[in-house]
Structure 1
Amino acid sequence: MRKFIQAFAILACMMSLHSCIIYKGLKYGNAAVDDYTVFEQDTVHRGPRTFTFSELPETERVLDTMKLDFYLARLDSVCKMSIPESMESCGKPAAALIIRNDTIVFEHYYGGWNKDSQSCIFSVTKTITSMLCGIALKEGYIKSLSDPVTDYIPELQKKDPLFDSLRIEHLLDMTAGLKFKENYSWNPFSKMAHLYMGNDAMKVVKNTKFSHKPGEYYHYDSMTTQILGIIIERATGMPYAQYLSEKVWQPLGMEKNALIGLDSRKHRVAKSYAGLTSNVRDLAKIGRLYLNAGNWNGTQIIDSAFVARSLSPHVSGEKRRYTYSYSWYWGIMGEKSFSDTDSLKAYYQDPHNLPENVTYRGWQRQEDGRARAILHQGGHWAFGLYGQVLYVNPRKNIIGVFLGADRTEDFQNVLEKAMNALK
């Protein structure tokens, strides 16, 4: 009986430490695309003028009826169907938009969604934060991407000497070396739960440890971009929402106000890694900005060199999972897996084994020990937790946006096939 009481007492103490997280987890469950309705938010205000894309007449939208062969991971098979049909088979699609040469060539909505529907875009927010970093660099708020993070968050010096070695560029490329597991389950003892559902993000940042020296390994985690967001706020002296509004949402003529999640009403630290809420057409304007090397109708919003670096494969190597550049993924995963890398390299050295307009650029070791190729078809991707996608292809002048409410790799496969269908 005494052991039971002791165990219960220990559990009660642990529960009290995490009561806020447990309460939110039980009340709201896992992260969802409508989390902007349950967590504290700040508004990213649009400006007085609106930019609108041209629209191809529906009778000329060939992607609506074109039948293509789609590989669907859920079914583990190739199916011939139209692009709208294939998207419906992806799980829980919400909105899909494809733009070429500033003209909407494909636009579909599902499950009651429309062009004004708002969705949390989760980790696509990381790309927006990277963009704000580029703007802050251009404006001189951030002196150099080689600056240590402790220049902007000096209190981290006392927490771990490795913070002095952590540079802003490490944050942009996910090579910070932080010990942080990316897991959105509401386990109250996880760092991710404390960051996403907790009410003091800076406290979580201060308690973060290192697993490696900065710059040694690629490791994707949200804490890295949370730190970058705090740096942007400290450097500019503005809240994340205000800076995003003044530098992007207003100049780009967004159609709707956006929202950015906050840790709490008290601390008001923006969830710069996963908290932005927006719609498909406004997200497409971010893509247009990158297609035009950071220039918006004659005004240079981001330095062109920063955009070029964002869309270049400067992070690579066997120790890194993806070719990842300033919060953009460079490349797609090959469908065929191999037991060893020699077999993979031999297979893709034969040009007949490469899909149309695709080149082999590297490989990734899967969790099962097998290897898959990283292929490049000219496009660059930003991904969110539940199938949110922002895609740009400078070679074809294409923008793609997909909003979903379910975790699946099929969204990317379908979008890639649709992009390649545009000659």
Structure 2
Amino acid sequence: MMLKMKLAMAAMTAALLPAAALAQETPPPIGASVLMWSPDQQKDGYKAMEKLAAHKVVARGAKVFPLPAGKTIDPKVSIGGKEMSVEAYMAAYRVSGLLVIKDGKVILERYGLERGPNDRWTSFSVAKSMTSTLVGAAIQDGYIKSLNDPVTTYIPELKGGGYDGVTVGQLITMTSGVKWNEDYTDLNSDVAKVGLSVIEPGVNPVVSYMRRLPRDVTPGTKFNYSTGETDLVGVLVSNAVRKPLAQYLSEKIWAPFGMEQDAIWVEDVAGHERGGCCMSMTLRDYGRIGMFILGGGKAGGKQVVPASWTKEATASHIPVDPAHPEAGGYGYFWWVNPKAKSYEALGIFGQSITTFPQDKLVIAINSAWPAADTPELNAARDSLTAAIRTAAVK
């Protein structure tokens, strides 16, 4: 199920950019589909999205949140009964960046694929977790009254359709109950068609599409991964705060927390940041996102989100698949693993921020996997994070 979800997200990401020939082995032009990039195109393109796609800048501030060096670790990863070093793992699984922060100190930092510490790397769906965090900031600032507010309060164009009666909280846990087909192999699926063009002047193209969808089940009763709804949350936040997402993120987190470089946030065809995809930032700033959430959502000495927000956001609110409890649960655009006592922000092709809060451990990984997502690739990453955890808590 998770494979289908993430691949569908990839399909929508690719749909943002019209198809084009991919014969060259250099970063493709803006018209290329990211799903079809060659390994060399991934390596170069993932760290140069600001040159390939329309975007807004998330500005950094004057200060940088320190990440001092700690005692280094040298974990050994066991995959398929064979043990390998971190260097061997990174080469085998095309990892461009691996950062481990324990108790606020960097205990492992490695780069690959010709990437360095100052190079940004695209997030894919890791951006979702930032979008839901901005919902928390908007609640703290009074722009959004409550998660129990109707979605239509902030996106009135949705009135009269399947989103009537759906709350903000149900939207950020993907339990809206609105019918949605996430099959990326079906050209007639919702994910293949949503937001590709401006069909109603003055109305965001995602909103135009989503407001035509019917109700499927009672809101709040079933998890259904909906890529369109993550972009819808981005529209909701910007409508509520009356600012672009990139500007609000800069003001609330990026600048006051102390991110080391500007980030960029890719836009949709209407010029609105994608709530569900495609920020680019340095590896250490991925790690700082983990630190911000782990620290309870404070930046510059101020509480950015409600005091209970980060704990609630990273707790399971709905099982991903009731028939398979091992699949874990879902929070506010965070994947929750109760067995490992961890939570994760995940993106296709191997992007992740994994946090073990009890161990005060944050692991940020950027990759250029040969496939958007497979059980084998996910299992290998889980083996890596487990090995790192074992080495870090000795």
Alignment of 1:127-276 (within 5 A): 127-158=129-160, 160=161, 162-182=162-182, 189-195=188-194, 198=197, 200-264=205-269, 267-276=270-279
For the 8 Å contact 1:36–1:120, the answer to whether it is kept is no
Determine whether 1:413 maps to 2:383. Answer: yes
Question: Hey, what does 2:333 align to over in structure 1?
Answer: 327
Answer yes or no: is the 8 Å Cα contact 1:330–1:376 preserved in 2.
Answer: no
1:382 and 2:352 matched: no
C-alpha distance in structure 2 between counterparts of 1:283 and 1:198, whole Å: 31
After TM superposition, give the deviation of residue 242 of structure 1 in Å: 0.7
> Aligned with 2:159: secondary structure?
helix
What runs of 5+ residues in structure 2 fail to find an aligned partner?
1-13, 21-30, 36-41, 199-204
Q: Could you tell me which amino acid in structure 1 is paired with residue 293 of structure 2?
A: Y
**Structure 1 residues 297 and 48: CA distance shift in structure 2, 3 A:** closer
1:129-169 deviation digits (Å, cap 9, x = unpaired): 111001101111000101111111111113x1x31121111
CA RMSD, Structure 1 to Structure 2 (Å): 2.4
Instruction: Give the 3-state SS of the residue equivalent to 2:336 in structure 1.
Output: strand
- Counterpart residue identity of residue 386, structure 2: E
What secondary structure is seen at the aligned counterpart in 1 of 2:359?
A: coil
2:33 is aligned with 1:24: no
What's the CA shift for 1:85? 1.8
Out of 300, 318, 321, the position equivalent to 2:322 is 318
Q: In structure 2, how many angstroms separate the alpha carbons of the residues matched to 1:279 and 1:184?
A: 29
Where 1:55 maps in the other structure, the secondary structure is coil
Question: Alpha-carbon deviation of 1:180?
Answer: 3.0
One-letter identity of the residue aligned with 2:272? V
| TM-score, normalization by structure 1 | 0.75
Q: Which runs of 5+ in 1 are unaligned?
A: 1-19, 72-76, 332-374
Q: Secondary structure at the match of 1:260?
A: strand
Distance 2:226 2:357 in 1: 27
TM-score by length of 2: 0.80
When the two structures are aligned, how many residues end up with a matched partner? 344
Q: Percent identity?
A: 25
Compare CA radii of gyration and give the structure with the larger one: 1
* Shift of residue 183, structure 1, vs aligned partner: 5.5
For the Cα contact (< 8 Å) 1:150–1:156, is it kept in 2?
yes
Write the distance in 1 (CA, Å) between the matches of 2:16 and 2:152.
32
Q: Hey, what does 1:119 align to over in structure 2?
A: 121
Q: Which has the higher strand share?
A: 1
Distance 1:420 1:198, change over 3 A: farther
Using the TM superposition, give the Cα deviation of residue 198 of structure 1 relative to its aligned residue in structure 2, in angstroms.
4.7
Secondary structure of 1:390's partner? strand
Q: Distance in 1 between matches of 2:243 and 2:224?
A: 29
Question: Partner of 1:422 in structure 2?
Answer: 392
In the alignment, is the contact (CA less than 8 A) between 1:120 and 1:278 conserved in 2? yes
Q: Which amino acid aligns with 2:289?
A: I
CA distance in structure 2 between the aligned counterparts of 1:224 and 1:115, rounded to whole angstroms: 33
